[in-house]
Amino acid sequence: MRYDHGHPFLAIPGPSVIPDDVLRAMHRPAVNIYEGPLIDLTHSLYPDLKRIVGTEGEAFIYISNGHGAWEAALANVFSGGESVLVLESGMFALGWGEIASRMGLDVEILNAPKRCGVDPNAVEARLRGDTGHSIKAVLVVQIDTSSGVWNDIAAIRQAMDGAGHPALLMVDCIAATGCVPCEMDAWNVDVVVSACQKGLMTPPGLGLVFANQKAMAAHRENGCRSSYWDWTPRANPERYYQLFAGTAPVQHLFGLRQALDMIFAEGSDAVYQRHRAIARGVRAAVEHWGRGGPIELNVIDPIARSDSVTTILTGEIDADAMRAICEIDFEVTLGIGLGQTVNAFRIGHMGHINPPMLLGTLGSIEMALTRMNAPFSAGGVEAAAVCMAETINNQD
């Protein structure tokens, strides 16, 4: 029996739910891309994006998805053959490393312990061993969307400083921007990579890269720039169209403007608190379900659990069958397990989300598990509701 009237729920970790106001802001004909309101609107985006990642460095907006932003960052600071250290904590750090490797960089991977975040002590030990300072950059993901790990970027920077190593610190914040705090300058991060389709609530299509002075200096020394990604003309455009190396992504810029307005109207601290309360609700539900069976949170250390996406292991319960019931019968789309050796699924809880959207998602999962006769402890929705209410009270 299908229930296909009402609002469908998208609970995947990107693209996330797009607010109607963002869609409306985008629903307009093409405008003049040489002069007029689009130019001012575009220039207004840069300071606001920098505010969200906490930097006074340079910001670049590319017409691309996150993979493009990954490549943009790498193409600007390296020449072929240099070494990078990738701090693995899930599939996405590996994905970035793979691109680096295909671009001719020498990639070394430092694996996190299974189901854990990056261990700063291991980073410090590895960098101390690099006495010749051949590692040019450390690549890490703030929230790895496959494992659901949140990495402590400030602690990783401290580990690098502890080792006295001069490598650049480059961080993928794609699943974190607009969901959890990012303090690029305070944490002394040299490059931040992001994208618009997760916490920034805009349809996929804008890749974001931020660079501090040290990264810009590395860029100036880089001998093999690619024309499209090149920071130099984008940082100091003589003409507006150089900002995008061609036609501006007109409708996306209007959409992103609206999304940023919504974030600042709510207040970025309030946005982070909302993500925190909702994420705690997810975790309370999963822990409750697990009392009567194999369901459990993937990330073992509570500190390393992300506030924007949760990866859930299901043991002998068929996660794909559960997802299919949710999707086909209840119109709730959940994230597939990525890179897990066991049954898993993911819940995206980033961007335009509130408690009823989450409770509806969790309730549908419970219905699916019940219909499957799966071994789990019913009542996760109630546990999530109580946990969110308590968290919200404590935040007041």
Ligand X SMILES: *Cc1c(COP(=O)(O)O)cnc(C)c1O
Q: Which 8-state DSSP code applies to residue 62?
A: E
Judged by beta carbon, residue 149 or residue 313, the one nearer ligand X is 149
Which amino acid would we find at residue 302? P
Residue with nearest beta carbon to ligand X: 66
Contact string 84-103 vs ligand X (x = CB under 6 A): --------x-----------
Compute the least distance from the CB of residue 173 to ligand X, in Å. Answer: 8
Compute the least distance from the CB of residue 156 to ligand X, in Å. Answer: 15
Nearest CA among 84, 91, 229 for reference residue 170: 84
Judged by beta carbon, residue 9 or residue 96, the one nearer ligand X is 96
Cα separation of the two ends of the chain: 42
Question: Within positions 287 to 316, which residues make up the interface with ligand X, using CB under 6 A?
Answer: none
Q: How far apart are CA 228 and CA 244, in angstroms?
A: 8
Contact string 125-164 vs ligand X (x = CB under 6 A): ----------------x--xx-------------------
Question: Within positions 193 to 222, which residues make up the interface with ligand X, using CB under 6 A?
Answer: 195, 204
Compute the least distance from the CB of residue 171 to ligand X, in Å. Answer: 10
Question: Within positions 46 to 65, which residues make up the interface with ligand X, using CB under 6 A?
Answer: 65
Compute the least distance from the CB of residue 200 to ligand X, in Å. Answer: 12
Q: Which of 71, 119, 124, 172: binder of ligand X (CB under 6 A)? A: 172
Judged by beta carbon, residue 66 or residue 360, the one nearer ligand X is 66
Q: Which of 17, 58, 60, 66: binder of ligand X (CB under 6 A)? A: 66
Each as own residue / partner, the long-range contacts of residues 125-133 (CB below 8 Å, 24 or more positions apart, any chain) are 125/163, 126/85, 127/85, 127/159, 127/160, 127/163, 127/165, 127/167, 128/163, 128/165, 130/165, 133/165, 133/166, 133/167
Judged by beta carbon, residue 288 or residue 346, the one nearer ligand X is 346
Nearest CA among 134, 70, 132 for reference residue 103: 70
Residue located via tokens 């969110």: 388
Compute the least distance from the CB of residue 15 to ligand X, in Å. Answer: 8
Compute the least distance from the CB of residue 238 to ligand X, in Å. Answer: 30
Which amino acid would we find at residue 221? E
Q: How far apart are CA 207 and CA 218, in angstroms?
A: 21
Nearest CA among 92, 85, 202 for reference residue 144: 92
What pairs with residue 336 in β-bridges?
Answer: 345
Contact string 233-272 vs ligand X (x = CB under 6 A): ----------------------------------------
What is the phi-psi region of residue 187: left when phi exceeds 0, alpha when psi lies from -120 to 50, beta otherwise?
alpha
337 is an interface residue for ligand X by CB under 6 A: no
Judged by beta carbon, residue 94 or residue 317, the one nearer ligand X is 94
Q: How far apart are CA 61 and CA 205, in angstroms?
A: 10
Cβ atoms within 10 Å, residue 27: 10
Binding positions for ligand X, rule: CB under 6 A: 14, 65-67, 92, 141, 144-145, 172, 174-175, 195, 204
